[in-house]
């Protein structure tokens, strides 16, 4: 299919305007490619310069974060918030603390977040933020001082009706707690300005599990479409953080066997099925490394410096970070019999690998659809905070299942309507997410 000329032009223009931002341009390319048929049918979008407007973040702030380590040494990091698009609701999206954080990474994440949040059906715009701070090896008090300093500046830019951050890589319950405490002290307000909070101060049950569980609920729809389910399937998962562990937990509950998990140093393979309670203890309580798993399970294997995509599996779930699954990995997975690939992380699959899966009959779930359960549950946390009540685990879980099912249906139906390949959920998710934001922008006049 020929690419629409307006789409082509907008992408070329974006490449010129954003030099040195490879992750951002990669995300743009993936989305714009699939929007061609929509622009063919809707000339009014071009007349309103909708693409140029949607590619440019509404606001991007960057700031100095000064903090002191336990030895009294002063450090400076760079903090950011990208407020991408607020056409359908307050900016919403996580904060990432990782040394690789820069404007390219945060703009790619913020851009993706807009579409993801639109797909949830909840009134949330898109944003992302974070810092090039590395929490690894820092003491609790160092992390606390960093979070307090970070929030001292961030608090000027966010608010319960303006922008509601949450966690992402390197930001979990501990960090959200420290940031929330600082926001409360600075503003003298107890409001739902962050999600992923502790349960005793406004957090929602199910939020911790939501991204991983949601990815499995999405995968259940894909499996059902092909006349099968998780029962008896072998699942390879990358990562060993919040998303990976709870994807593993739900897949196991649904009868699958999870054989791998990983971190940035290597992966573990346990043919008997990974003991996720042990992984939780190593990673969440002790903040250790995945390699420690084989100290307890001697028959399990640890592969230093490798990714898990060479193993034989039915389902692969990429739950660590961007570009962790490339063309070579895609070929290996496919050759070894993998038929379903689910992105629990944001953009873990390179463009070439994504195309390979789509062209070779592997049913592929893009992150902005499959990992939307986390932000969806964040939206439900905002609702509970506004209503000043707490729903039970089951109530939130049932809502989460309903939302993931609807996201699948939207992506599938847009793929069927617009793409030559009805299984192209990449195009389906991009189009379904886009149209809602585009129409909201048109309705609200030029800005
Ligand atoms: P965590 O910080 O809990 O875990 C991240 C995991 O990914 C760790 O195992 C980490 O290993 C690994 N990892 C990080 N960077 C790299 C790297 N460069 N190479 C290999 N492995 C790496 O983060 P989350 O589980 O929350 O996030 C994982 C992914 O899911 C991210 O892409 C995030 O954007 C996405 N996501 C998260 C949501 C959430 O609700 N938390 C919602 C939707 C998407 P190590 O310890 O060695 O760094
Ligand atoms: O990428 C994501 O969707 C997240 N990190 C979760 C964002 C949120 O606001 O819960």
Residue with CA closest to ligand 1 atom 37: 168
User: By the 8 A CB rule, do 197 and 180 touch?
Assistant: yes
A 10 A CB-CB count for 148 gives: 18
**Is 283 among the residues known to form the active site?**
no
314-371 pLDDT tens trace: 999 999 999 999 999 999 999 999 999 999 999 999 999 999 999 999 999 999 999 9
Lookup: tokens for 447: 């800005």
Q: What does the radius of gyration of the chain's CA atoms come to, in whole angstroms?
A: 21
Q: Is the CB of 375 under 6 A from ligand 2?
A: yes
**CA–CA separation, 27 and 21 (whole Å):** 10
Atom nearest to 100 CA in ligand 1: 18
- 197 C-beta closer than 6 A to ligand 2: no
Q: For ligand 2, what atom is nearest to the CA of residue 378? A: 10
Structural contact between residues 268 and 288, judged by C-beta atoms closer than 8 angstroms: no
Query: Rounded to whole angstroms, what are the CA distances from 323 to 291, 307, 360?
Result: 22, 12, 20
The finding on whether 169 has its CB within 6 A of some atom of ligand 1 is yes
Instruction: Tell if the pTM clears 0.95, that is, is over it.
Output: yes
| Ligand nearest to the backbone CA of 211 | 1
Instruction: Note the pLDDT of residue 269.
Output: 98
At 1 the pLDDT is 63
CA distance 379 to 93: 10
CATH class of 59-189: alpha beta
Q: Distance between CA atoms of 433 and 290, rounded to whole angstroms?
A: 36
What does DSSP assign to residue 287?
Answer: -
Active-site residue, from 92, 107, 116, 128: 128
* C-alpha to C-alpha distance for 320 and 309, rounded to whole angstroms: 13
Q: Where along the chain do its domains lie?
A: 59-189, 208-365
Nearest residue by C-alpha to atom 9 in ligand 2: 93
Q: How far apart are CA 237 and CA 247, in angstroms?
A: 8
Rounded Cα distance, 242 and 1, in Å: 39
Whether ligand 1 lies within 6 angstroms of the CB of 211 is answered as: yes
Question: Would residue 63 be called left, alpha or beta, if left means φ above 0 and alpha means ψ between -120 and 50 degrees?
Answer: beta
CATH of 208-365, one of 3.30.830.10, 3.40.50.720, 1.10.3720.10, 1.10.10.10: 3.40.50.720
Tens digits of pLDDT across the chain (447 residues): 678 999 999 999 999 999 999 999 999 999 999 999 999 999 999 999 999 999 999 999 999 999 999 999 999 999 999 999 999 999 999 999 999 999 999 999 999 999 999 999 999 999 999 999 999 999 999 999 999 999 999 999 999 999 999 999 999 999 999 999 999 999 999 999 999 999 999 999 999 999 999 999 999 999 999 999 999 999 999 999 999 999 999 999 999 999 999 999 999 999 999 999 999 999 999 999 999 999 999 999 999 999 999 999 999 999 999 999 999 999 999 999 999 999 999 999 999 999 999 999 999 999 999 999 999 999 999 999 999 999 999 999 999 999 999 999 999 999 999 999 999 999 999 999 999 999 999 999 998
CA of 33 to the centre of ligand 1 (A): 27
Nearest CA residue ID for atom 46, ligand 1: 263
- Mutation test of ligand 1: which of 292, 321, 380 has the most ligand atoms closer than 8 Å to its C-beta? 321
CA atoms within 13 A on the CB side of 189: 11
- Size of the chain in residues: 447
> 59-189 and 208-365 share one CATH topology?
yes
Q: How far apart are CA 162 and CA 213, in angstroms?
A: 28
- What is the C-alpha to C-alpha distance for residues 270 and 295, in angstroms, rounded to an integer? 12
Ramachandran region of residue 170, left (φ > 0), alpha (ψ -120 to 50) or beta?
Answer: left
């Amino acid at each position: 299919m020929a690419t629409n000329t307006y789409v082509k032009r907008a992408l070329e223009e974006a490449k010129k305007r954003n030099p040195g931002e490879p992750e951002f341009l990669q995300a743009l390319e993936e989305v714009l490619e699939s929007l061609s048929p929509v622009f063919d049918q809707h000339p009014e979008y071009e007349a309103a310069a909708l693409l140029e407007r949607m590619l440019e973040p509404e606001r991007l702030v960057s700031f100095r974060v000064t903090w002191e380590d336990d030895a009294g040494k002063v450090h400076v990091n760079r903090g950011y918030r990208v407020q991408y698009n607020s056409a359908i609701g307050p900016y919403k999206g996580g904060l990432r603390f990782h040394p690789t954080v820069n404007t390219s990474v945060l703009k790619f994440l913020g851009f993706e977040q807009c579409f993801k949040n639109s797909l949830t059906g909840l009134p949330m715009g898109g944003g992302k933020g974070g810092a090039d701070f590395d929490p690894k090896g820092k003491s609790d008090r160092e992390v606390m001082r960093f979070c307090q300093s970070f929030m001292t500046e961030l608090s000027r830019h966010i608010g319960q009706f303006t922008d509601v951050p949450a966690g992402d890589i390197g930001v979990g319950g501990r960090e959200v707690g420290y940031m929330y405490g600082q926001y409360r002290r600075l503003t003298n307000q107890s409001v739902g300005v962050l999600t992923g909070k502790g349960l005793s101060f406004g957090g929602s049950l199910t939020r911790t599990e939501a991204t991983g569980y949601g990815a499995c609920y999405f995968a259940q729809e894909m499996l059902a479409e092909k006349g099968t389910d998780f029962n008896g399937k072998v699942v390879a998962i990358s990562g060993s953080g919040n998303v990976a562990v709870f994807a593993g937990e739900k897949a196991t509950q649904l009868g699958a066997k999870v054989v791998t998990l990983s971190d940035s140093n290597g992966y573990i393979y346990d043919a008997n099925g990974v003991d996720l309670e042990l992984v939780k203890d190593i990673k969440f309580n002790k903040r250790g490394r995945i390699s420690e798993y084989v100290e307890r399970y001697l028959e399990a294997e640890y592969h230093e410096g490798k990714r898990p995509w060479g193993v034989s599996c039915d389902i692969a779930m990429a739950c660590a970070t961007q570009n962790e699954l490339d063309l070579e990995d895609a070929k290996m997975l496919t050759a070894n019999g993998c038929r379903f690939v689910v992105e629990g992380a944001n953009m873990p699959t390179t463009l070439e690998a994504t195309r390979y899966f789509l062209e070779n009959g592997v049913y592929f779930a893009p992150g902005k659809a499959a990992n939307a359960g986390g932000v969806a549950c964040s939206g439900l946390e905002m609702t509970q905070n506004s209503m000043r009540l707490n729903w039970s685990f089951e109530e939130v879980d049932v809502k989460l299942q309903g939302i993931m099912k609807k996201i699948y249906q939207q992506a599938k139906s847009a793929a069927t309507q617009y793409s030559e390949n009805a299984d192209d959920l990449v195009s389906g998710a991009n189009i379904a997410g886009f149209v809602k934001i585009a129409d909201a922008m048109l309705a609200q006049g030029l800005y």
